[in-house]
């Protein structure tokens, strides 16, 4: 990204994707969407990366949604294409086999809610405000709903989307959008703690587990149980599964190969 609108940085076994438009409340534009997508691809191309962290620069905003300063570009579309870049980013996130954490240090609105929902876990600072204000400008959080409706209770999603009114971090946590809400000064420590609880686990189990979780999301129980019983049989044949059981028996920490 030549304009530095998204910063990509490898920190140990974590790959950090930082939206770097603090003066615009880390609003989404074409460059930001492309940068986040590149970050996801780069993280998956690096075998040493175990987890992705998505955040926004500064302490004012995680992501305030589309950049409405250029309203003509914000919702302009090429109708010859059946898909749009933001939707493709959400698709990319759902096919990811490495876990992602949202580090939410500031306001999270509209399209930013979609970024939050596309991660596997989320930690937010106290005082962060969330919302789906699209109806206030005559549009609707269409693509965000594709992920949000499987996370939060329907009645709350209805209220947020139809009224456009904001809500606080505790409400977001109670609705299932956040794993943890902490004082702002403790945000990085909590994210690091969560990273640490991922990177010492089997990369093979996580990779295959995420794939299976995605696959069964729309299955009936009968379809899901048939699929998962075959998946556990396959997983048991991997090197990591054998190493994990051996290490357990020998009362030592396993040495994962990721195979």
CB 51 within 8 A of CB 14: yes
Task: Domain ranges for the chain, please list them.
Answer: 6-199, 203-249
Element (H, E) at 124: strand 121-125
User: The tokens of 45 are what?
Assistant: 């191309």
142-146: long-range contacts (C-beta < 8 A, 24 or more apart)?
A: 143/84, 143/86, 143/87, 143/90, 143/111, 143/114, 144/110, 144/111, 144/113, 144/114, 144/117, 146/90
Q: What is the CATH number of domain 6-199?
A: 3.90.226.10
pLDDT in tens, the chain (259 residues): 447 999 999 999 999 999 999 999 999 999 999 999 999 999 999 999 999 999 999 999 999 999 887 655 555 656 556 568 999 999 999 999 999 999 999 999 999 999 999 999 999 999 999 999 999 999 999 999 999 999 999 999 999 999 999 999 999 999 999 999 999 999 999 999 999 999 999 999 999 999 999 999 999 999 999 999 999 999 999 999 999 988 899 999 998 998 9
- C-alpha to C-alpha distance for 27 and 63, rounded to whole angstroms: 5
Taking the CA atoms of 112, 113, 115 and 121 in sequence, report the sign of the dihedral they define: positive
What's the confidence (pLDDT) of residue 1? 44
What phi, psi does 62 have (nearest 5°)? -75, -60
CB 40 within 8 A of CB 17: yes
What phi, psi does 6 have (nearest 5°)? -135, 130
What's the confidence (pLDDT) of residue 70? 65
Residue given tokens 């962290």 in the structure block: 53
What's the confidence (pLDDT) of residue 78? 63
- C-alpha to C-alpha distance for 143 and 21, rounded to whole angstroms: 22
pTM of the model: 0.91
């Amino acid at each position: 990204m030549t304009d530095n609108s998204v910063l990509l940085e490898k920190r140990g076994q974590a790959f950090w994707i930082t939206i770097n438009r603090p003066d615009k409340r880390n609003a989404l534009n074409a460059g930001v969407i492309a940068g986040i997508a590149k970050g996801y691809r780069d993280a998956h191309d690096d075998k040493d990366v175990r987890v992705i962290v998505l955040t926004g620069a500064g302490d004012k905003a995680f992501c305030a949604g589309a950049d409405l300063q250029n309203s003509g570009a914000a919702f302009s579309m090429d109708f010859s294409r059946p898909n749009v870049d933001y939707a493709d980013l959400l698709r990319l996130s759902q096919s990811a086999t490495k876990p992602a954490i949202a580090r939410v240090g500031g306001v999270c609105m509209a399209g930013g809610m979609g970024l939050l929902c596309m991660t596997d876990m989320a930690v937010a600072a106290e005082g962060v405000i969330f919302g789906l204000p699209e109806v206030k400008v005559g549009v609707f959080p269409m693509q965000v709903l594709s992920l949000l409706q499987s996370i939060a209770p329907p009645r709350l999603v209805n209220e947020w989307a139809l009224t456009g009114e904001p809500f606080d971090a505790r409400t977001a946590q109670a609705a299932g959008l956040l794993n943890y809400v902490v004082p702002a000064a403790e945000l990085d420590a909590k994210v690091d703690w969560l990273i640490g609880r991922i990177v010492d686990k089997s990369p093979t189990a996580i990779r295959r587990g995420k794939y299976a979780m995605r696959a069964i999301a729309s299955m009936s129980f009968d379809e899901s149980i048939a699929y998962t019983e075959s998946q556990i049989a396959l997983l048991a044949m991997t090197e990591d599964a054998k190493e994990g059981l051996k290490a357990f028996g020998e009362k030592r920490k396993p040495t994962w190969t990721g195979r």
